[in-house]
Amino acid sequence: MKRKLLLSNCLLGVAVLILSGIAPAQSSRNAAASKDKLSTVLNPAITEKLAVRVPLAPRLDTLEGKTIYIVDMNYEGMIGTPVLGEMQAWFAKNMPSVKTILKLKGGSYISDDPALWKEIAANKANGVILGVAG
C-alpha cells in the first residue's frame, strides 16, 4: 500500500509537471547537452518523519479566582474584534470571580510580541485565550 501511494504521488507530480509545461528531468546523458533547460522541483511526497511533539499545558481544575488574558492576535489589522469583547463580557456576567484582561497583540498575527508575553508572565496569568476572530 505504501509503495502504491508513493508511486501514485510520483506519477501525480510528473503529471503536474507535464501539464504545466515543465518536462521531467532527462537522462544524465541528455542532461549535459541541455543543462540550461532543466528546472529544479520539489518532491510533493509526504515525509515519514513526525514533527517534534510538545505536550499541552495541564488543564486548570477551575477558573474560579483565576486571571485569564484574552489576546486579540490582530488578524488582518482589525483592532478590537467584537467577539473577544463579548467573551470578556460573558466572563464578567457568568463567572465574576474570573479576572479577564483583554489585550491587542502588537504587530500582525504572525509577528512576535515579547513585551506582551512578559506582561502575561509578570502578572502570573493562569491562562490565555488567543483569539483570531472578526
Task: Report the alpha-carbon distance of residue 7 to residue 124 in Å, rounded.
Answer: 53
Question: Over the stretch 14-73, which tens digit does the pLDDT of each residue have?
Answer: 444 444 555 555 555 555 556 677 777 777 777 778 878 999 888 999 999 999 999 988
Let me know the angle formed at the C-alpha of 117 by 111 and 121, rounded to the nearest 5 degrees.
Answer: 170
Domain boundaries defined on the chain: 1-54, 67-131
Classify each residue of 64-87 as buried b or exposed e, where b means 16 or more C-beta atoms within 10 Å of its C-beta.
Answer: eebbbbbbbbbeeeeeebeebeeb
Question: Over the stretch 68-99, which tens digit does the pLDDT of each residue have?
Answer: 999 988 876 666 678 888 999 999 999 999 99
The DSSP bridge partners found for residue 99 are: 67
Q: For the whole model, what pTM was predicted?
A: 0.58
Task: Report the alpha-carbon distance of residue 30 to residue 127 in Å, rounded.
Answer: 62
